[in-house]
Amino acid sequence: MSAALLELRQITVSFDGFLALRDLNLSLQPGELRAVIGPNGAGKTTFLDVITGKTAPTEGDVVFKGCSLLGRPEHRIARMGIGRKFQSPRVFEQLSVQENLALAVNQPKQPWSLLVGGLNATQRDQVHHLMSIVNLQNRADWAAGSLSHGQKQWLEIAMLVGQDPDLLLVDEPVAGLTDEETELTADLLKSLAGDHTVLVIEHDMEFIRRLESPVTVLHQGHVLCEGTMDQVQADPRVIEVYLGTTAEDNG
């Protein structure tokens, strides 16, 4: 077994005494596709905040490619190869679709190179390729703010892919999407796994099932269990936290 790409070691996050995460351990192998589910308030978003440097853990360590991420600012963590898609789509609304993608694809991300240089041919091709993947090639010059909700979700996913991160953290990618869009998104994420490591947080169980990936269940800031979707759904503890009844009551 190769070394883990990302490892969370005994992470605890305390907000004024409230433990959003407690003693959380998780590791991701390179190329893995992993789904994380959990009821509201389980700490799913905090967990992403810790990885991406938005929130500093009270205790524990986050190790990515063998380096600790603690104390690094968000943009450096992003440059190390961690990309994040937010829960509600966050794109740069006043910029066009093309400009949004160009910012994601662009390297290096320094003021001087942005002033004097343009995208090179490979990067331009990549922008066009990304637009065709998410079906926005006819919208290249539209302001991102004028796109529909689903299109914004896809644009953000395309921006994430354009950053070419080793690890993609995807927070609720199908919230508010139609069934058809949901299916396409699942296929897209599956096709990304392998070359990339993908971690998906989602409420939509059908979507998670489609991903055919290992599932980690979070509950009260702690990993409740891990396994395939079927195993997890059959686990009495999972049923308890989701339905609020104990397995004994049911039995």
Partner 1 sequence: MFQAFSQRRWLLVGLWVLIIAVVVAAPAVLPVFRLNLLGRFLALSIVALGIDLIWGFTGLLSLGQGIFFALGGYAAAMYLQLSNAGDLPNGIPEFFGLYGVKELPFFWHPFASPWFALMAIWLIPGILAAVLGGLVFRNRIKGVYFSILTQAALLVFYNFFNGQQKLINGTNGLQTPATKLFGQYVGSDLMQRWFFWVTAVVVILIWAFLRWVVRGRFGDVLIAIRDDEPRLRFAGYNPTLFKTLVFGLAGALAGIGGALYTVQSGSASPQFMEVPMSIDMVIWVAVGGRGTLVGAILGAVAINFAKSLVSEAMPESWLFIQGGLFILVVTVLPEGVIGWFRGEGPGNWLNRLGFCLNSLGNWLIRLGQGLIHQGNSSPWLKALRISALGRCLIRWGQSLNSVGIVRRIVTYPRLELEGQLEVQP
Provide the minimum distance between the beta carbon of 84 and partner 1 in the complex, in angstroms, as a whole number.
Answer: 5
Q: Which stretch binds partner 1 (CB under 8 A): 5-13, 17-25, 104-112, 207-215?
A: 104-112
Of 51 and 223, nearer to partner 1 (C-beta) is 51
79 touches partner 1 (CB under 8 A): yes
- Helix pair 97-105, 149-162: axis angle to 10 deg: 20
Least gap, CB of 134 to partner 1 (angstroms): 17
Let me know: does 55 contact 46? Beta carbons within 8 Å.
yes
Quick count: other Cβ atoms within 10 Å of Cβ 179? 10
Residue in 30, 72, 87, 92 binding partner 1, rule: CB under 8 A: 92
- We find the least distance from the C-beta atom of residue 251 to partner 1, in angstroms, to be 46
| Dihedral sign computed on CA atoms, order 8, 9, 12, 13 | negative
For 219-247, the DSSP string reads: ETTEEEEEE-HHHHHH-HHHHHHHHSS-H
Kindly state the number of chain residues that form the binding site for partner 1, as judged by CB under 8 A. 32
Specify the amino acid at residue 179.
D
Q: Does residue 99 interact with partner 1 by CB under 8 A? A: yes
Spatial separation of the C-alpha atoms in residues 22 and 13, rounded to whole Å: 6
Phi-psi sector, 153: left (phi>0), alpha (psi -120 to 50), beta: alpha
Of 55, 104, 54, the closest CA to residue 79 belongs to 104
The CB-of-113 to partner 1 minimum distance in angstroms stands at 9
229 binds partner 1 (CB under 8 A): no
Least distance to partner 1 from the beta carbon of 44, Å?
17
SS3 9: strand
Answer for which of 84, 152, 196, 210 binds partner 1 (CB under 8 A) is 84
Query: In angstroms, rounded to a whole number, what is the distance separating the alpha carbons of residues 159 and 161?
Result: 5
Cα 43 from chain centre: 14
Query: Whole-number minimum distance, CB 145 to partner 1, in Å?
Result: 8
Per CB under 8 A, the segment of 78-86, 170-178, 183-191, 227-235 that binds partner 1 is 78-86
What span, in angstroms and rounded, lies between the C-alpha atoms of 215 and 12? 21
Member of 25, 120, 146, 250 binding partner 1 (CB under 8 A): 146
User: Under the rule (CB under 8 A), what is the footprint of partner 1?
Assistant: 52, 54, 73-75, 78-79, 83-84, 86, 90-95, 99, 102-104, 106, 109, 111, 114-115, 118-119, 142-143, 146, 159, 163
